[in-house]
């Protein structure tokens, strides 16, 4: 590990509940590093919001001068981590139910900037299983799970994502920005995305959006398997239960409007 990164991590670790604020000289002495080194680390962490300067007052008087404490960035990161654990806990019963109904893989995907990350997966009990795994990243333009996330972004963000080159992963990966935009429009209108051989040859996925309390689609839910199990003309067989599951998850994470797809699903 880089010595600079190691020093930076050790610095962050000294901010505890018992001692949340530190002066420059205290940090230098505790970590056994020169004040100039400590100051450079503090300046970098403060610039990016991981630390903040804090002035402690008591009875209207400044106490011991300027100190440093953890910044808002850690609160934001903590909320994201907590949200991941929460969505997995909420989604898991719905996912198990879908897997029990169809004996196909069920996947939960989250958007992280310009990629989708597989956050949870329930495997099929069939001998041959999909390659996808928890933690895998995929581009937003290919595959039903991730293209569902792309489809509900504001138009300007979609344009930004599609400014980068489209990489072919399999024979049916969309080949142009125009093709992706056509599929995005279709997903918005129908409430689901369908992919066949876009990320892996011979694999098919049907995905639907999950709405959070702000009406944002940061997650998608999908049933996935192999082409022989998911011909396009059989999609309706899976859609009702998928929409019902997504509606239930959406409601549990704070979406208080009727789920916009699947008829009377609430």
Q: What is the mean pLDDT of each run of 10 residues along the chain (266 residues)?
A: 80 85 89 90 89 71 72 73 77 94 92 87 73 80 95 94 90 93 96 92 93 92 85 86 96 93 62
CATH number of the domain enclosing 243:
3.30.450.40
Q: How far, in Å, are 122, 152, 184, 225 from residue 236 at the CA level? A: 21, 21, 19, 15
- Using CA atoms, how far residue 263 sits from 139, 213, 239, 241, 266, in Å, is 30, 20, 11, 12, 9
Question: How many other CB atoms sit within 10 Å of the CB of residue 171?
Answer: 10
Give, to the nearest 10 degrees, the angle between helix 24-31 and helix 35-47: 120
Task: State residue 82's pLDDT score.
Answer: 60
CB 75 within 8 A of CB 100: no
For residues 93 and 193, membership in a common domain is answered with yes
Residues 92, 41 share a domain? no
Give me the pLDDT at residue 262, please.
84
Residues 12 and 127 in one domain: no
Last residue of a domain, one of 47, 70, 93: 70
Q: Max Cα separation, the chain?
A: 75
Structural domain ending residue among the three candidates 34, 50, 70: 70
Residues 135 and 166 in one domain: yes
CB-count exposure of residue 92 (10 Å: 0-12, 13-18, 19+): middle
Rounded Cα distance between 256 and 244, Å, is 15
Query: Do both 60 and 132 map to the same domain?
Result: no
Q: Whole domain around residue 12: which residue ranges?
A: 3-70
Q: Which of 33, 49, 70 is the last residue of a domain?
A: 70
pLDDT at residue number 131: 64
Q: Are residues 100 and 201 in the same domain?
A: yes
User: Which residues lie below 8 Å from residue 266, measured CB to CB, with a gap of 6+?
Assistant: 247, 251, 258, 259
* Nearest by Cα to 52 from 30, 34, 73: 73
In this structure, are 7 and 121 located in the same domain? no
Strands of the sheet containing 203-211, edge to edge, are 137-139, 115-122, 105-112, 217-226, 203-211, 193-196
Residue 235 belongs to a domain: yes
**Number of domain units in the chain:** 2
- Residues 65, 99, single domain; the answer is no
Regarding whether 31 and 141 lie in a shared domain, the answer is no
H-helix segments, the chain: 3-13, 24-31, 35-47, 72-102, 144-151, 155-161, 177-190, 236-252
- Let me know if residue 183 belongs to a domain: yes
| Confidence (pTM) | 0.71
> What are the pLDDT digits (tens) for 208-225?
999 998 999 989 999 988
Together in a domain, 216 and 177: yes
């Amino acid at each position: 590990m880089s010595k600079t990164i190691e020093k930076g991590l050790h610095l962050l670790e000294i901010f505890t509940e018992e001692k949340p604020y530190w002066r420059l000289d205290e940090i230098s002495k505790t970590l056994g590093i020169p004040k100039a080194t400590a100051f450079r680390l503090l300046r970098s962490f403060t610039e990016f919001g991981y630390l903040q300067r804090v002035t402690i007052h008591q009875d209207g008087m400044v106490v011991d001068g300027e100190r440093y404490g953890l910044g808002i960035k850690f609160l934001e990161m903590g909320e994201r981590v907590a949200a991941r654990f929460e969505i997995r806990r909420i989604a898991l019963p719905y996912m198990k139910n879908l897997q029990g109904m169809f004996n196909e893989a069920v996947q939960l995907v989250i958007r992280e900037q310009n990629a989708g990350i597989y956050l949870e997966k329930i495997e099929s009990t069939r001998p041959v299983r999909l390659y996808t795994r928890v933690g895998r990243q995929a581009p937003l333009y290919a595959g039903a799970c991730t293209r569902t996330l792309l489809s509900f972004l504001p138009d300007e963000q979609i344009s930004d994502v599609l400014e980068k080159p489209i990489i072919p992963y399999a024979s049916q990966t969309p080949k142009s920005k125009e093709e992706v935009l056509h599929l995005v429009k279709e997903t918005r209108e129908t409430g689901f995305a369908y992919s066949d051989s876009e990320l892996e040859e011979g694999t098919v996925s049907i995905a639907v959006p999950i709405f959070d309390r702000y009406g944002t689609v940061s997650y998608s839910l999908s049933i996935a398997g192999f082409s022989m199990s998911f011909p396009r003309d059989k999609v309706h067989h899976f859609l009702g239960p998928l929409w019902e599951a997504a509606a239930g998850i959406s409601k549990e994470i704070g979406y208080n409007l009727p789920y916009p797809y699947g008829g009377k699903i609430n």
